[in-house]
Structure 1
Amino acid sequence: MKAPRETDFAYQAVYRYLAQLIDEPVNDARVRLPSLRQLAERLNVSISTIQYAYALLEKEGRVYSVAKSGYFAQPVPAANTLYSGNDLLESLYVNARRPGMLVLSTDDPAMLQPIDSPLLLLERELLRQYPRQPQTHSQPCGELELRRALAARYTTSPLRCWHADDVYIGADLRGVLEILIAVLALKGATVVVESPCDWGILRLLETASVRVIEWPVMVDGGLDHDLLEELLEVEPVRLVMVSSSLNMPRGSLASDDNRDAIAQLLRQHDCWVLENDCYAELGFEPGGLRFRDLLAPERLIVFSTFEKIMGPEAPFGYLLSRHLGVELQRHFLLRAFRLSAIRQKAIARLYGNGRIDQHLQLLRRRLKDGKVQMIQLLQERLVDTVRFVEPQGGATVWVRPVRRVDVRQVFQRLLKQQVVVAPGELFSLQGLHAQHLRLSHSVGNEQELAHALGLLADALRMESMG
């Protein structure tokens, strides 16, 4: 294998090596891939690094594992045509899984600084301490040790304190939010959502027949106080969903004064406040007010996931609520999430020994370096073509073409060049952000990124000329 540059990470090199193996032309018969040990010896890296690369490919649907047999490549038909359906999100997902595509639409910040090695090492140690035996008691809301660790992390004062009984952990974020929708009886109810918003959350609300009113973030990154006041006065709003600090995908931050004014307004109205905390730890400069610092816990619910900061090895979602305990416990019990107690214990130990905070310092640094590189490339390659919001955190950049174009056509042009971007309309249910794109700076190397941005510039120019 060609030696990676110093700026590359081992798992990225392994990932590219495996991707090339998968993309080699074969028939439709299943192709067995090298074992973890074989690859570790062949590439001179740790088994955990190989395991992480395989986990990413498995998440993308490009490989699958068979118990006691190993990993296999998903067969790819010879006629690998573009998806031509009308669902833009489905088109993005299908094409992102095609071999050879540069997926510039992804949002996996943890890829830049994986924490799988210490996590798996702790897990092995815990397996020796807790040999497998019949479980003496059920913990349907998650492992108590991890719930205690999260409660301690979110506690900031005697008034804004959390306990293990206030924390609920599920297999993934979607499952946790589905339970919350049921407990709050949001079907048919009106929910105000900060926009742009993660497409997974929007699709979930839409599927659950929730009436969503979008609350667009202003150009300067602030939240529109007057618009929210009007909505709260004229609409039967059951819940308002806000970002705890960092709005993604814009990567922007509202000022502390603006956030405080919104909190004062929310305190005057009888509605639930749902704080999206998935990206709060990924701001380049930690600190600043969050809504849970400004609102009493009585009407506040917080949700988040470990995946954005730890990667696919920690897919669990969780929420914090000091109320609705009986109903939340009942629904978590009925859902019967199958969670690895040892994996949860390992995550709790990473919080307890300070390893998560060390990891976050390195991850923020990597993300900031990636942002600087991406901004420089945008200024070099698309200076007269796009405007962008300089992100204050995360792994993506929110861009807008200077001239009005059909972004869907730009998306299709780039697919033919084997590049996948995320059109802005995916982050809205009401047609907002159709003149925007979300681009990732956490994929590929500098040459691949520069090439992809050059293709984007060409596609925008061709589309603007008509």
Structure 2
Amino acid sequence: MKRYEQFAEEIAALIRSGVLAPGERIPSIRQASRRYGISPSTVFQAYYRLEHRGLIVARARSGYFVREQARRLFAEPGVAAQRADPADVAVSELAFSVLDSLRDSDTVPFGSAFPAPELFPLSHLAGSMTRGLRGLSAEAITTAMTDGHVDLRRQILLRYALNGLSPAPEELVVTHGAMEALNLGLQCVTRPGDLVAVEAPAFYACLQVLERLGLRAVEIPVHPRHGIDLEVLAERLATLPVRACWLMSHLQNPLGASLDDSAKRELYALLKRHQVPLLEDDAYAELHFGARPPRPVKAFDDEGLVMHCGSFSKCLAPGYRIGWMAAGRFAGAVSRLRLMTTISPSVPAQAAIADYLQRGGYDRHLRRLRLALESQQQAMLAAADRHFPADTRITRPAGGYFLWCEFPERVDSLALFRRALKAGVSLAPGPIFSATQGFGHCIRLSYGHPWTARSERAMATLGRLLADF
């Protein structure tokens, strides 16, 4: 072993034995160099190795700390039972009751759909807004309403290129967040009464769109790690007149599951064989914990069947509502439909994000955001270990900011939601993620906010409420 590897193992042993406790600050690089008689670069290499293993975490201007760890590894949640019949969708009232619970700032936001505002570079974005507005000509304000801000389009295409994709510029449509893109895409390829394949569990906003458009859901089970069940999807496509698929191939909400490259290739081949378009919701693409983001299904699309939808709402600028779609063969129809409905997303907001991206701070921000979310995930898992029942099953996604928790069937997640809300804690109950309001013993928790003593008390509260079942 090299010296930095030996030193890393020495620190790891102290962490495993409890000599260095979770949350405790470890010696700084300078202190460790003096104490152990090794060079600062050796200490840095060792700490980088420990950080990569998830044993320590760097905090800006504070040093390195032992990461919170759960003592036990939770079992994975089960895979949803298969359902053959298409289902009418009616989840909006329930979903809105959950969303309404988040308006009270005194409520612990474990049910939140967004990370904490303090994790975003809002002051830098404000400066970019000023510069962006100053640089907008009168002509650009109107031309950008049709095609999107030219510099923003260039930056989005550059992000694609960095991940090995090269969608044609003419297929890029800038939208009011990813949700408008997904809405427009679905409207272009379906009519009321049509069948749409969705995940089970699925993102509740997806189900709300199906409900609004009068579409019927064909639920496809999702494995908590490996993603959608391709065998079931193949059977449904062969036996039912499915007109479109709406899927998250990476960091699926609410499970956090991701398909690997071979599964994505197989998924695309299946859709291509049946000529079924895919709405690929990739809103969490930048929130991966690994070194590089996985490639989307769009990377295998050679016929323009995939409408790949992204957004800055979850990773940079939530309130700016800027998203996009690489719409493939449907770009013209999507663009025209957007002009017929909302005309254009905010041009000043587009200019602000374009200015921010051009200044080169985006990747630094993303690295900090990912580290914060990974640390917060570990803290929530450790708290669940301390407070939740022994037979709890919890996902451990490789990114994003959600945990899916499965409890014994005696737990009623809607009753838990109501009781937790009275105690000042929000959560997202399982039935809002199902076209048939299944998953009644499951909840989704967000670790998107910095972990505090208040967060710990909220987990203890949930643990006591769970014990009542």
TM-score in terms of structure 2 length? 0.74
Partner of 1:100: 106
Q: Alpha-carbon deviation of 1:176? A: 3.1
In structure 2, what is the Cα distance between the partners aligned to 1:264 and 1:186? Answer: 24
> Judging changes above 3 Å, is the alpha-carbon distance between structure 1 residues 360 and 307 closer, same or farther for their aligned structure 2 residues?
same
Q: Which runs of 5+ in 1 are unaligned?
A: 1-6, 8-84
Whether 2:281 is the aligned partner of 1:276: answer yes
Partner of 1:90: 96
Asked if the contact 2:171–2:327 (Cα under 8 Å) also holds between the matched residues in 1, the reply is yes
Q: Alpha-carbon deviation of 1:133? A: 7.7
Partner of 1:287: 293
> Judging changes above 3 Å, is the alpha-carbon distance between structure 1 residues 452 and 328 closer, same or farther for their aligned structure 2 residues?
same
Whether 2:117 is the aligned partner of 1:127: answer no
Alignment length, in residue pairs? Answer: 380
Asked if the contact 2:249–2:280 (Cα under 8 Å) also holds between the matched residues in 1, the reply is yes
Which of 361, 373, 379 is the aligned partner of 2:367? 361
Which of 258, 263, 276 is the aligned partner of 1:253? 258
Asked if the contact 2:408–2:441 (Cα under 8 Å) also holds between the matched residues in 1, the reply is no
Asked if the contact 2:195–2:215 (Cα under 8 Å) also holds between the matched residues in 1, the reply is yes
> Judging changes above 3 Å, is the alpha-carbon distance between structure 1 residues 186 and 408 closer, same or farther for their aligned structure 2 residues?
same
Which of 388, 394, 403 is the aligned partner of 1:388? 394
Of stretches 452-461 and 86-95 in structure 1, the one that deviates more from structure 2 is 86-95
How large is the Cα RMSD of the aligned pairs? 2.7
> Judging changes above 3 Å, is the alpha-carbon distance between structure 1 residues 447 and 288 closer, same or farther for their aligned structure 2 residues?
same
What is the DSSP-based 3-state SS (H/G/I as helix, E as strand, rest coil) of the residue aligned with 1:214? strand
Partner of 1:55: none
Partner of 1:240: 245
Report matched runs for 1:216-227 at 5 Å: 216-227=221-232
Partner of 2:155: 149
In structure 2, what is the Cα distance between the partners aligned to 1:351 and 1:284? Answer: 21
Asked if the contact 2:186–2:279 (Cα under 8 Å) also holds between the matched residues in 1, the reply is no
Give the AA of the match of 2:373. L
Partner of 2:85: none
Of stretches 93-102 and 419-428 in structure 1, the one that deviates more from structure 2 is 93-102
> Deviations along 1:3-22, whole A, 9 cap, x unmatched?
xxxx9xxxxxxxxxxxxxxx
Asked if the contact 1:425–1:432 (Cα under 8 Å) also holds between the matched residues in 2, the reply is yes
In structure 1, what is the Cα distance between the partners aligned to 2:179 and 2:136? Answer: 30
Q: Alpha-carbon deviation of 1:426? A: 0.8
Asked if the contact 1:421–1:437 (Cα under 8 Å) also holds between the matched residues in 2, the reply is yes
In structure 2, what is the Cα distance between the partners aligned to 1:157 and 1:169? Answer: 19
Give the AA of the match of 1:291. V
TM-score in terms of structure 1 length? 0.75
Give the AA of the match of 2:357. Y
Which of 318, 322, 327 is the aligned partner of 1:321? 327
Partner of 1:418: 424
Partner of 2:441: 435
Partner of 2:64: none
- Of structures 1 and 2, the one with the larger relative CO (CA 8 A, separation 6+) is 2
Whether 2:342 is the aligned partner of 1:333: answer no
Q: Which runs of 5+ in 2 are unaligned?
A: 1-24, 26-90
Identity, % of aligned positions: 25
Whether 2:161 is the aligned partner of 1:179: answer no
Q: Alpha-carbon deviation of 1:349? A: 3.2
> Deviations along 1:79-104, whole A, 9 cap, x unmatched?
xxxxxx99322322233223522221
> Judging changes above 3 Å, is the alpha-carbon distance between structure 1 residues 320 and 462 closer, same or farther for their aligned structure 2 residues?
same
> Judging changes above 3 Å, is the alpha-carbon distance between structure 1 residues 296 and 112 closer, same or farther for their aligned structure 2 residues?
farther
Which of 312, 321, 331 is the aligned partner of 2:318? 312
> Deviations along 1:60-116, whole A, 9 cap, x unmatched?
xxxxxxxxxxxxxxxxxxxxxxxxx99322322233223522221002136352122
